[in-house]
């Protein structure tokens, strides 16, 4: 796909997502399918909601991805089918809130089928690659779900990450990744316009598990591009996922350190701490978007540079993320559960 084709596909997905999100929001408000944040759980300046927020944004994201893909010469039917399963698992979470162990088992089952029929990451021995791919798919589904904890965070980061994969696919002669990148980026961006602070609609677990699944599979497929060395094949996709992974690692370590259940939602995410540190959700979003852009630039560099500069660039990126997390670890956050955009953990 050339740059013109990428722009057209992105535009179609964006327009569909924007329109579908508007319609879903209207329907959810009419039906009373809404969430009303508790003002006691947030400081006024970091959670500006004054009215109920519509639910069901995941339907708009799924619809825009499917409809946009249907216009392609060769739609990825199997991937769309598995994506719909991921969406269904999330929608069931939204309705029933099953025990975390059951949710994880179903996610690993979906990941196993995906690796069997779509493939696994390249760059490792097959046995290890299959294991990493299954764990990676289930892990990224939960990682995006955990990042969906504040207005505009998950949708904005997904937009930038998938645009990064689209460019990575273009420079590594991997059209499948380019197409997936612009499809999902457009869907996430169209939804983001309605989800940016203060959000008017939430994607719910249905939307976050769908996006996490698509992000993970895109990363696996990205490893099959034409890279000059092993570090590019493994390091570039990793860097594009690294902001999500950093938040997940941060939260898991914090909860383990303080004896809290890993799957219990709270306000100790990087986004929450940034909102307290910076004084607003918008500033927190901009800081995370900037970090994602930097990781995207590093990923592109790793895919194009020789091995030694690539290794140094990866070390620089990891050090930057570590300093970022270390600074946020020192931020005090009020006790209480998150009242953001649908974080289940």
Mean pLDDT calculated for residue range 142-156: 96
Q: What is the pLDDT of residue 41?
A: 52
pLDDT at position 335: 44
Report the pLDDT value the prediction gives residue 315, as an integer from 0 to 100. Answer: 98
CA distance 267 to 287: 17
Question: What is the per-residue pLDDT for 1?
Answer: 72
Q: How many other CB atoms sit within 10 Å of the CB of residue 34?
A: 16
> What mean pLDDT do residues 127-138 have?
98
Q: Tell me: pLDDT of 344 over 70.
A: no
Alpha carbon distances (Å) from 13 to 80, 191, 236, 284: 15, 10, 25, 27
Average model confidence (pLDDT) across the chain: 92
Query: What is this structure's pTM?
Result: 0.94
Q: pLDDT class for 345, splitting at 50, 70, 90?
A: low
The pLDDT tens digits for 167-179 are 999 999 999 999 9
Closest CA to 15 of 68, 80, 77: 68
- pLDDT higher than 60, residue 47: no
**Quick one: pLDDT at residue 2?**
78
pLDDT digit string, tens, across residues 151-163 = 999 999 999 999 9
Range with lowest mean pLDDT among 3-12, 87-96, 312-321: 3-12
Q: Is 194 exposed, middle or buried (0-12, 13-18, 19+ CB in 10 A)?
A: buried
Of the pLDDT bands very low, low, confident and very high (cuts 50, 70, 90), residue 38 is low
**What distances in angstroms separate CA 156 from CA 1, 27, 226, 284, 286, one per listed residue?**
24, 24, 28, 12, 9
Q: Comparing 257 with 50, which gets the higher pLDDT?
A: 257
Taking residues 232-249, report their average pLDDT: 97
**Ramachandran assignment for 23, one of left (phi > 0), alpha (psi -120 to 50 degrees), beta (any other):** alpha
- Residues 260-306: pLDDT tens digits? 887 777 778 999 999 999 989 999 999 999 999 999 999 999 999 99
Q: What is the pLDDT of residues 86-115, one digit of tens each?
A: 999 999 999 998 888 999 999 999 999 999
The tally of CA atoms less than 13 A away on the side-chain side of residue 169 is 25
Q: If DSSP codes are grouped into helix, strand and coil, which group holds residue 54?
A: strand
């Amino acid at each position: 796909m050339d740059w013109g084709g990428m722009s057209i596909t992105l535009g179609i997905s964006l327009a569909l997502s924007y329109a579908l999100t508007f319609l879903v929001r209207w329907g959810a408000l009419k039906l009373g399918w809404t969430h009303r944040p508790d003002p006691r759980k947030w400081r006024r300046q970091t959670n500006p909601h004054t009215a109920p927020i519509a639910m069901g944004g995941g339907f708009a994201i799924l619809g825009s991805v499917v409809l946009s893909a249907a216009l392609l010469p060769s739609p990825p039917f199997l991937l769309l089918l598995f994506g719909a399963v991921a969406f269904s698992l999330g929608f069931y979470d939204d309705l029933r809130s099953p025990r975390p162990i059951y949710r994880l088992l179903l996610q690993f089952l979906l990941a196993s089928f995906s690796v069997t029929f779509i493939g696994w990451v390249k760059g490792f021995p097959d046995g290890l690659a299959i294991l990493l791919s299954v764990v990676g798919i289930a892990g990224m589904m939960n990682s995006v779900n955990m990042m969906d904890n504040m207005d505009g965070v998950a949708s904005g980061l997904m937009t930038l990450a998938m645009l990064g994969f689209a460019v990575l696919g273009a420079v590594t002669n991997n059209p499948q990744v380019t197409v997936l990148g612009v499809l999902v980026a457009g869907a996430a961006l169209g939804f983001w316009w309605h989800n940016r602070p203060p959000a008017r609609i939430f994607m719910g677990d249905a939307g976050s598990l769908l996006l996490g699944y698509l992000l993970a599979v895109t990363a696996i497929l990205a490893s099959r591009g034409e890279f000059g060395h092993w570090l590019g094949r493994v390091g570039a996709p990793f860097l594009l996922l690294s902001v999500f992974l950093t938040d997940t690692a941060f939260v898991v370590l914090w909860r383990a350190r303080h004896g809290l259940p890993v799957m219990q939602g709270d306000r100790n995410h990087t986004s929450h701490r940034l909102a307290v540190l910076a004084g607003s959700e918008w500033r927190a979003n901009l800081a995370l978007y900037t970090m994602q852009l930097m990781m995207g630039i590093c990923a592109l560099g790793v895919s194009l540079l020789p091995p030694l500069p690539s290794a140094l660039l990866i070390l620089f990126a990891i050090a930057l993320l570590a300093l970022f997390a270390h600074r946020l670890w020192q931020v005090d956050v009020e006790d209480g559960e998150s009242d953001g955009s649908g974080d289940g953990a």
